[in-house]
Amino acid sequence: MEEDTTNQPKTMEKRPLTFGEDAVGLTFNPSNNIEVDEIKKRYAEIIDILDGIRSCDESDRHPEKNRLLSVAITEAQTAQMWAVKGITK
């Protein structure tokens, strides 16, 4: 095995985004604003929790429960977008 002597950082494999990270557009922050990044991460966590509850064991599925969780996810996305708009104004 040959040793790496280039002193170049090893590139890390990119993992796929979680449902919540994708839902809030976590990778889109053209201004690199730290507050925008933090808000998006926190809303992504909330959305992932809600999606996890919604996606749990099929024997526990209830159409109204899933609908309400979907509404909560949509509203979290909306709140995140308004928060980002406020931060970047």
- pLDDT score for 59: 64
pLDDT digits (tens, 9 = 90+) for 76-89: 999 999 999 999 99
Amino acid making up residue 1: M
- pLDDT score for 61: 74
Cβ contacts of residue 80 below 8 Å, gap of 6+? Answer: 24, 39, 40, 43
pLDDT band at 68 (very low <50, low <70, confident <90, very high): very high
